[in-house]
Structure 1
Amino acid sequence: MSAATSPSERRVSARIGAISESATLAVDAKAKALKAAGRPVIGFGAGEPDFPTPDYIVDAAVEACRNPKYHRYTPAGGLPELKAAIAEKTLRDSGYEVDASQILVTNGGKQAIYEAFAAILDPGDEVIVPAPYWTTYPESIRLAGGVPVEVVADETTGYRVSVEQLEAARTEKTKVVLFVSPSNPTGAVYSEADAEAIGRWVVEHGLWVMTDEIYEHLVYGDATFTSLPAIVPELRDKCIVVNGVAKTYAMTGWRVGWIIGPKDVVKAATNLQSHATSNVSNVAQIAALAAVSGPLDAVAEMRTAFDRRRGIVVRMLNEIDGVFCPEPEGAFYAYPAVKDLLGKEIRGKRPATTVELAALILDEAEVAVVPGEAFGTPGYLRLSYALSDEDLIEGVSRIQKLLGEAKA
C-alpha cells in the first residue's frame, strides 16, 4: 500500500467519502444563495410545503419550552405519549394496528430510513429500489452495508414498477424491497390491487419490505393511499414502515419521523439511536404529539392547493414541445420527461444531459429544478409544486419561453 492511500494519510473515510451530497438540498441552497444575491430566482427544488406549521402545533411547542420536564433527557426511543399517539394515528389513517413498543421516534424521516436499513442489513445484502427514487434511499442502503439494485420505471407506466420487474431483479442476495407510494420524485401512486400484488410477491419469497408512507395524505383525484401491511397482514413480521410529520403538517424543519416494525428490529434501531443522537428534541416531539393527535383540517387545505397547482404545472409543462409530463396522483412533484430536448440548441448551447439542461434553465431562466440524474433516471426533471400559484406560473412560464427556443 502506498503512503498516499495508507489509513494514516486518508483524511476522509472511504465509506463517508463515497456519499453524494443531497442533490435536492444542493439545488435549493444554490437557489436561495442566488436570491440572496439579488437575482429573481424561482426554486422548484425543495420538497417542502410552503405553508406555515398550524398554530395549535406551534402553541404546544411553546408550552413545552416552558415545562422543565422537557428540559432533560427523555427515553431515546421517543416520548411514551407520542409513541402511543402514533400508534393511534396509524390505526386511524392506515388501518394498521400496532403497539407503542413497535415504534421508534427519530430525527426526521432520513434518520428513520438509515436506522431501519442499518438494523436489518448485513454487508452484501441487496435491496431492490424502484427508480426514479428519492436521493437518500440508495445512500442510506450503502451506509448500512447493503447494495441497492435499481428497477427502473418510466413515464409509459406512470413510473410504477411491476411484479415481473421485481422478480427479474431478485437474486439469492435480495433481502429487502423498497415500496414508496405516493412517490417522491414522481408523484406516482399504486392502486390497491397493484400494491397487494407486490405485497403477496414479497411474502411468497420471504423478503423484507420497507414502505415509506410520508406522503400518505397527499393523494388526488381517484387515487387512494394504501398501507401495505394493512392489506397484506402476512408480511407484518418483515415489514418496516417509515413516516413522519414533515409533509402532512408542514413541519419539515421540526425533524420528527418514526419507524414502525417488528419489536426486535425496533429495539435494535433504538439501541443505535441511543448512541447516535439520544432522544429527539422534546419540544419537537410535543409539537408532533399535537399534530398526530389533532385534526387533519390543515392538510385538507394544503391538499386542495396542491391539487390546483398540480393541474397548472402539468398543463403548462405539456404545452412545451419535447416535454411529456404524466399527471402525478400524489405528493407535490411533477416529473416531466425531457429526453427529446437533449442535444438541441438552446441559446447557443446544446445540453447533452439533464444536469446540463437544469444548469441552463437556472442560468438563463433563473429557475431552479432538479435533474433526473439525482433520482437515478437521466432524461427527466423534478419540479416541486409546493410554492405559490404566482411563483409557479411565473417559473414555468420562464421555462416555456426558454425551452420553446430549442432547435435542432
Structure 2
Amino acid sequence: MNGNDDRAETDGGTAEGSARTEGGPSRFAPADRVESVPPSGIREFFEVAENRDDVISLGVGEPDFTAPWAARSAAIDSLERGRTSYTANRGMLDLREAIAGRVTRYGQSYDPDTEILVTTGASEAVDLAFRAFVNPGDTVALPTPTYVSYEPGVRFAGGEPLPVHTHHEDDWALTPEALLEAGADEADVLVLCYPNNPTGATMDADEMDAVADFCREHDLLVIADEIYAALTYEGDHQSVATRPGMRERTVVINGFSKAYAMTGLRLGYAMGPETAIDAMTKVHQYAMLSAPTTAQHAALSAIERCDDEVERMRREYDRRRRYVVSRLRELGIDVAEPGGAFYAFPRVADVAPDGDARAFATELLEAEGVAAVPGTAFGAGGEGHIRISYATGLDDLKEAMARLERFLS
C-alpha cells in the first residue's frame, strides 16, 4: 500500500485525517526523484554484518590507518586557539594555495583565488557539480560498474543516468567504442572515476587521450572524481583535465579522506575554470556556507607535512593488493589487476550458486563471517562480481582469504 493509499483511507480522506496515520504523519511522501532511488547497496548489506562479532569486513572503503599525527595535531591546535568561526565560502586561502601547489604533481594548474573550492568531503563536490551543471532531462554518462553515489546524485539533480558498460575481460577499460555504443555521443556530461571505485581500474596515457578526444568531439562536460589519485600503483596518475582542450570543460574533484585517512573530517575540493567554480560556490554557499574549519587546518598541515606517511600507507596498500590478487587467483577466482584505489573486483559468477554474486556474498557472510559487497550495488555492470576492500590489516586479509578458501571447498 503506497503513501497515497494510506492518506485516502485515513478518516475518510478528510483534510484532518490526511495529516496523520497510525504510523505518524504521512504528508511527507518523498519526492518522485527521491522515491525512485534505492538505499545504498553497500550500507544495506552491512547492516546485517553489524549484528555479528566475528565478521571480517572487506566492504566499506575506509582506510584502517589513523590520520597522520601532524594533521591531528593541527586540528587540536586550531581548537585550542579558538579557531571555530566560518572561513571564506571557498575555504581558507592558504589551504587553497597549498592545494594548488600539491596538484602540480599531476600536471594540473589552478588559480587558488578563483579556480579552487574547498568542500565538505569530495562527496559534496560531486553533488555540487551535478546540481550546478545538470539541467532537468540532461543525460549523464556513467561508466559502469560505478560508485554508488553517482546515479542517485544525477537523479536528484533531475538528470538521466546513462550506463556505459566496461568489462572484466579487458580490465574494465573505458574506450571511445564503449562510449559510442552506449550513446554517450548524445550525452551532456561524462563522469570519470579513476582510479576507479569499485574495480580499482586505472587509465594509461593512451586510454585517457582517446577518451579526451571523444569528449572534445562530442562536446561533453566532464566531472573527474580523482579522490584515489595518490593511491596509484602502476604508472603515473592520469588526469583528463591535462589533455588539450579539456581543462575548460572539466571539473576535477579530490580530497583528503582516502590518501590521508581523514574520512571523518569530511574535507574535499573541486578545481575547474572560474565560471565552473563560481557556479558550484553559489550552491555551496547556500547549502553548506563553508567546509569545517577544524578540518581545513588539519588538511593544510597534511599537505605541508605528511608526504612520508601518505607514501607509507600507499606502499602498504600495494602490498595488500598484491597479496589479495594472488590469493584470489590461487583459489581459482578470476580478478582483473587493480592498478589503484584499494579495491579488487573479482568475478565470482563461476563459483557462485547460479552465478548469483549477491547470493554468494550473503552465504559467505553467513557461513564464514566475511563481508564483501555484491557487485550489483555498483550497477548492472557489476553483475557476477563482488567488491573486496583491502583497506584492512594484512592479518585480517589472510584470515579472510583462509575463510574464503574454506567456504569454496
* TM-score where L is the length of structure 2: 0.90
Which residue in 2 is equivalent to 1:401? 406
What's the offset of the Cα at 1:29? 4.6
Which residue in 1 is equivalent to 2:13? none
Which residue in 1 is equivalent to 2:81? 67
- Matched residue count: 387
Please point out which of 70, 79, 82 is paired with 1:56: 70
Q: Distance in 2 between matches of 1:104 and 1:256?
A: 11
Which residue in 2 is equivalent to 1:130? 143
Determine whether 1:121 maps to 2:124.
Answer: no
When structure 1 is superposed on structure 2, of 82-91 and 187-196 the one drifting more is 82-91
Determine whether 1:15 maps to 2:33.
Answer: yes
Which residue in 1 is equivalent to 2:348? 338
- Tell me the SS of whatever aligns to 2:353: coil
Q: Distance in 2 between matches of 1:403 and 1:242?
A: 40
What's the offset of the Cα at 1:20? 2.6
Determine whether 1:99 maps to 2:111.
Answer: yes
Q: Distance in 2 between matches of 1:147 and 1:353?
A: 28
Q: Distance in 2 between matches of 1:82 and 1:269?
A: 18
Please point out which of 370, 374, 390 is paired with 1:371: 374
Preserved CA contact (<8 Å) 1:177 1:210: yes
Which residue in 2 is equivalent to 1:392? 397
Q: Distance in 1 between matches of 2:240 and 2:4?
A: 51
What CA deviation, in whole Å up to 9, does each residue of 1:119-170 have, x standing for no partner?
Answer: 1010111111111111111111111111111111121110112111112223
Q: Distance in 2 between matches of 1:71 and 1:295?
A: 24
Q: Distance in 1 between matches of 2:54 and 2:71?
A: 33
Q: Distance in 2 between matches of 1:118 and 1:13?
A: 16
Q: 5 Å matches for 1:306-385?
A: 306-321=317-332, 323-343=333-353, 353-376=356-379, 377-385=382-390
Change (3 A) 1:392 1:194: same
- Tell me the SS of whatever aligns to 1:242: strand
Q: Distance in 2 between matches of 1:60 and 1:95?
A: 28
Change (3 A) 1:104 1:30: farther
Q: 5 Å matches for 1:244-255?
A: 244-255=255-266
Please point out which of 12, 19, 34 is paired with 2:51: 34
Q: Distance in 1 between matches of 2:66 and 2:281?
A: 31
Structure 1 spans left out of the alignment, 5+ residues: 345-351
Q: Distance in 2 between matches of 1:85 and 1:147?
A: 36
Which residue in 2 is equivalent to 1:78? 91
- Tell me the SS of whatever aligns to 2:246: helix
Please point out which of 143, 167, 173 is paired with 1:160: 173
Q: Distance in 2 between matches of 1:29 and 1:289?
A: 35
Q: Distance in 1 between matches of 2:158 and 2:38?
A: 16
What's the offset of the Cα at 1:3? 5.2
Preserved CA contact (<8 Å) 1:25 1:45: no
When structure 1 is superposed on structure 2, of 291-300 and 239-248 the one drifting more is 291-300
Equivalent residue letter for 2:109: E
Preserved CA contact (<8 Å) 1:89 1:293: no
What's the offset of the Cα at 1:342? 3.2
Equivalent residue letter for 1:388: G
What CA deviation, in whole Å up to 9, does each residue of 1:62-105 have, x standing for no partner?
Answer: 1111223x2222222211221121111112x2111111111111
Q: Determine what percentage of the aligned residue pairs are the same residue.
A: 34
Preserved CA contact (<8 Å) 2:185 2:218: no
Please point out which of 220, 223, 228 is paired with 2:235: 223
Preserved CA contact (<8 Å) 1:184 1:331: yes
- Tell me the SS of whatever aligns to 2:188: strand
Q: Distance in 1 between matches of 2:211 and 2:184?
A: 16
What's the offset of the Cα at 1:12? 2.3
- Tell me the SS of whatever aligns to 1:164: helix
What's the offset of the Cα at 1:305? 1.0
Q: Distance in 1 between matches of 2:327 and 2:185?
A: 46
Q: Distance in 2 between matches of 1:284 and 1:171?
A: 38
Structure 2 spans left out of the alignment, 5+ residues: 9-17, 20-26
Preserved CA contact (<8 Å) 2:198 2:378: yes
Which residue in 1 is equivalent to 2:272? 261
- Tell me the SS of whatever aligns to 2:192: strand
Equivalent residue letter for 1:333: Y
What CA deviation, in whole Å up to 9, does each residue of 1:244-279 have, x standing for no partner?
Answer: 011111111110011111212211211111121221
Preserved CA contact (<8 Å) 2:353 2:359: no
Preserved CA contact (<8 Å) 2:179 2:185: no
Preserved CA contact (<8 Å) 2:121 2:255: yes
Determine whether 1:87 maps to 2:87.
Answer: no
Q: Distance in 2 between matches of 1:84 and 1:22?
A: 35
- Tell me the SS of whatever aligns to 1:226: coil
Q: Distance in 2 between matches of 1:336 and 1:152?
A: 17
